[in-house]
Amino acid sequence: MAAAALCVGVGSFSDPKEIQGLAHFVEHMVFMGSKKFPQENDFDAFIKKHGGSDNGSTDCETTTFYFECFEKHLFKALDKFAQFFIAPLMKRESMTREREAVESEFQMALPSDEFRKDQLLASFATVDSPINSFSWGNLITLKANVDEDKLYDALHEFRQRHYSAHRMTVAVQGKISLDVLQDNVISCFSSVPNNELPSFDFKKFRHCFETDKFNKFYFVKPMKDICNLEVTWALPSLLDQYRCKPHHYISWLLGHEGKGSLLSYLRKKVLALSVYAGNGESGCEHNSMFTLFTITVVLTKQGCEKAHQVIEAIFSYISLLKREGPQKWIFKEIQRIESTSFQFSEEESAVDNVEEISECMQFYPPKDYLTGSDLYFEYNPEAIMMILNQMSPNKMNIMLFSHNLPSDKTFDKKEKWFGTEYTDKEISSEMIKKLEDIKPYPEFHLPEKNKFLTENFSLLPKAENHPKYPQKIIQNSVLELWYRRDQKFGLPLAYYYFYLITPLAMDNAQNSCLLDMYVDFLVIELAEECYPATLAELSYSFEPFEKGIIMKVTGYDEKLPVLIDIIGNYIRNLPNTITEEMFVAVKDKEMKKYYNQFIKPSKLAKDLRLSILQNKYFSLLEKHDAVVNITTDMVTDFARKLFKKMYIQCLVQGNVSENVVTDVVMNFIKTVECGPLDSNTELAVEVAQIPLGEHCCRVLSFNKNDANSIITNYYQLGLLTIKNCVTMEFIMHMIEEPLFDILRTKEQLGYNVYCTVRDTCGILGYSITVNAQVNKYSTEHVDQRIEHFIKHVHKLLKTLSNKKMFEIKKDLIKIKNCVDIDLEDEVERNWAEIVTSEYIFDRVQKEINEIQNLKVSEIRKFWDNINQYGNHVNYRKISMQIVGQTNVENSDENTFEEGIVQVDAKNASQKYSLRYLGTLEDCRKEKKNESYFIKNIPSFKKKLHLYPTRSKAKLLNKI
């Protein structure tokens, strides 16, 4: 893939106060056709047609536009792209539509606690400062508060003032000679206008957070059920300190999880589960006016009640950093880690690469374009001390995100744009005095030297007769071990993947929760000893999956055996380490996690779809229900039993020899004391066949402050074969662009519109998803529009020319050939074959062959069978509809029947059940038959017949 990005040195800080969100709106409008290519979706269509994608993003002081496509079409695309900056049309009629897109984007952002926090914090700055502004833009700032002519003029004025060549940076990537690239860039971009005008200077606002509002203690009501403490300081701008990155040095230590760290202390007291320190490098945290430095603590229930203790611990640790002073050896360690990481970094996708580089070009001198954001050039103890001194109690802002308030408080204030409810209190002078005087606790000390740092980065010699795909080197009753040495990417890295398969995981919802909790305990137990490994760029993760846990240990190969050995020992000892106090905290965390997921419409839609389709699938609601009854003993017992009966699939790839791999894996199995499964163990995930015709699962979203509806129309085909899969991919590729153009750009149904091929445990299907706002369109309307589109696809296929067919095939084959940018991609691809027990490692090649053989008549017939406009012999559809709620204030509370649970302030610990919508009356209105609506998922499921599974036989044979 080739890619290009253009970054303009202007963003929402330059919004006029009377039209907030203008910079973002300009970003959208620029892409709506140019003088040379006036069609509104000309560029988008071109890019999508050639296997690519494009997008833009508006930050505070920069706006970036980027795209990727096949190399062959780069220059044509570049020409179209450059015209947006030479002579964009930004027509009046496009305004109405793109304003809707901006509004949709804002509606989607509305339930996000992160965005709500950013906006709230911005409101604490002085009123005249550019940060105190609503950068998203919506129908209020771009429609209600401004007349059409004024907006139109402002739009063009803004572009003329700021979109000037001297403030633009471009990065282009493609496997084409530099001279040719350069010539093309020059010829495409040389007529971008240049007005030589300076950018606005925001430095005079550098004290914008020195306000009474900022230096307060805030209680903020979150959307999710969380309890987070955030302590924030507004430091001087550190943009020009990129060579020493003093704030990174401090966040490295404050966020440390090893022995003697802040988190280690808080975990032992069961006050917190995690700590994050520093800033996210986004423009609103890191800009020419200030740098925000935030410590975020994810509190336990206890911690939430004792937030002052946590704040004291933070200041105690800061006082340790001050007492010990900056340490050169720690800086050197960070410097070394970052520089090896840079040296051996795996290749990023072209589009990510150019996006980042075009932005870096705005901030660093040319010699540091590529390295400025990653490397540590010089040690500057004075700068570190300066920041530590700034991090004082009288300059801090505290926010506590929780539904629990002190008894004398109510959420009596409301942020203007997101409507975030909050209240505040002064930070007393006694508290400040106390925090200023606090000494380092005896538990605190600086980290020890990191034992996981790699010394030896050498590569294994190349072998002859090197196999193309992973080979199975061990197969016994507990283990299948696949291995492939890497000779392609040539980096000192290795990937150890384990699928720890246990029948326990599929037993019932309660066991599924136990598995989640087991993983939590393991991660917490490992943290202190293994956190330094993550600093040394080794990584380990555990993910509960369908049949057990997927464990991945990756990074520089040299120290991975040590790390895996440590993990094995912790696994063996885990049953002895589970304490009652930590159990309470973990259980609370899981309960909140399930809840925080199912209140999101998109998560709920996916969860319900899978819970209809898969047997032995436990939905978030079922798990939320089941977790309540779990006790400490049950977790301990589960941890004891887990490895007694297990089957492990393992894949190792990278710079590692067969002998090392065998030793490491066998040693792990011995350490965790793994025993074989019973011979009659049933381990297949089965999928239900949707009955012929159309069905709808329409339920009410749980969050009454979230207007987003999700409509996913899922169409099921049957057992997946390589042939029907590529046929489906062919059709999806063909309709992707028209789908976006019709449903999103023209009809403005919602900001998110996409189609995708679905492989559900070996059963093929496809889906079309639209995110719409409930106050704009009903889910029924969206479903109808999707069906209308499908009818259109029917026509597209009928008139599909050989030439077009040939082009699509060529694009698809190119995409297939683009796989594996780095070793991880290759490993993931092979891993998917192992996890599904399909083992078709040459799938890509097989798919390419099938694509070449595709015939137009076959594709038409295939499509005919699966939708209602053809012969529909195999038309099996479920429309998953999560209906958003209109904001309580604007709606009549009695719209919904009594007794339904609406999420409000209170929390994860209530019991929730689905609210099925769709009455017989609706059936008549929508002209559907009586069985159209699914009124109860479990009873609907009971009647369905299960497909035979592909992996069942294979797995059983091995045991």
Positions in the binding site for Zn ion (CB under 5 A)? 105
In whole angstroms, how close is the CB of 58 to Zn ion at the nearest point? 7
109 or 800: CB nearest Zn ion:
109
Structure tokens at 31: 């892409």
Q: Cα 420 from chain centroid?
A: 23
DSSP 866: T
User: H helices of 287-327, where?
Assistant: 301-305, 307-324
The amino acid occupying position 727 is: T
Q: How far is CA 467 from CA 283, 471, 472, 486, 826, in A?
A: 48, 8, 11, 10, 14
User: Which residue number has the CB closest to Zn ion?
Assistant: 105
58 or 335: CB nearest Zn ion:
58
Distance CA 521, CA 959 (A): 30
57 or 423: CB nearest Zn ion:
57
Distance CA 524, CA 577 (A): 11
Overall size of the chain counted in residues = 959
Question: 3-state DSSP call for residue 700?
Answer: strand
In whole angstroms, how close is the CB of 28 to Zn ion at the nearest point? 6
105 or 352: CB nearest Zn ion:
105
Per residue in 717-750, is it b (16+ CB within 10 Å) or e — as a string? bbebeebbbbbbbbbbbbbbbbbbbbbbbebbbb
138 or 512: CB nearest Zn ion:
138
Q: How far is CA 150 from CA 21, 27, 34, 154, in A?
A: 14, 18, 21, 6
Distance CA 9, CA 199 (A): 8
In whole angstroms, how close is the CB of 212 to Zn ion at the nearest point? 34
26 or 493: CB nearest Zn ion:
26
- Phi, then psi, of 333 in degrees rounded to 5: -65, -45
30 or 299: CB nearest Zn ion:
30
106 or 124: CB nearest Zn ion:
106
Q: Cα 28 from chain centroid?
A: 23
105 or 443: CB nearest Zn ion:
105
In whole angstroms, how close is the CB of 31 to Zn ion at the nearest point? 10
Task: Sort strands 63-69 and 53-58 into parallel, antiparallel or unpaired.
Answer: antiparallel
Computed over its alpha carbons, how large is the radius of gyration of the chain?
Answer: 29
Question: 3-state DSSP call for residue 65?
Answer: strand
Q: Using an 8 Å Cβ cutoff, are 292 and 304 in contact?
A: no
In whole angstroms, how close is the CB of 767 to Zn ion at the nearest point? 24
User: H helices of 163-242, where?
Assistant: 178-189
Instruction: Give the number of other CB atoms < 10 A from CB of residue 889.
Output: 8
105 or 368: CB nearest Zn ion:
105
105 or 415: CB nearest Zn ion:
105
Distance CA 571, CA 672 (A): 6
In whole angstroms, how close is the CB of 61 to Zn ion at the nearest point? 17
Please name the residues in contact with 773: beta carbons below 8 A apart, sequence gap of 6 or more: 104, 107, 707, 708, 709, 750, 884
Name residue, tokens 């769709």: 918
Q: What is the dihedral of CA 153, 156, 160, 164, to 10 degrees?
A: 150
Angle of helix 307-324 versus helix 381-390 axis, rounded to 10: 150
In whole angstroms, how close is the CB of 24 to Zn ion at the nearest point? 6
Distance CA 695, CA 717 (A): 15
The amino acid occupying position 58 is: T
97 or 952: CB nearest Zn ion:
97
- As to burial, measured by CB atoms within 10 angstroms (0-12 exposed, 13-18 middle, 19+ buried), residue 957 is exposed
Distance CA 855, CA 802 (A): 10
56 or 548: CB nearest Zn ion:
56
- Phi, then psi, of 277 in degrees rounded to 5: -135, 150
Question: 3-state DSSP call for residue 36?
Answer: coil
Distance CA 716, CA 875 (A): 8
Distance CA 861, CA 39 (A): 33
Q: Which one is catalytic: 27, 100, 686, 787? A: 27
In whole angstroms, how close is the CB of 101 to Zn ion at the nearest point? 7
In whole angstroms, how close is the CB of 114 to Zn ion at the nearest point? 16
Contacts 24+ apart (CB under 8 A), 176-185: 176/2, 176/71, 176/74, 184/74, 184/75, 184/78, 185/78
In whole angstroms, how close is the CB of 12 to Zn ion at the nearest point? 11
Residue 27 among the catalytic residues: yes
Please name the residues in contact with 902: beta carbons below 8 A apart, sequence gap of 6 or more: 702, 704, 885, 896
Q: Which of the residues are catalytic?
A: 27
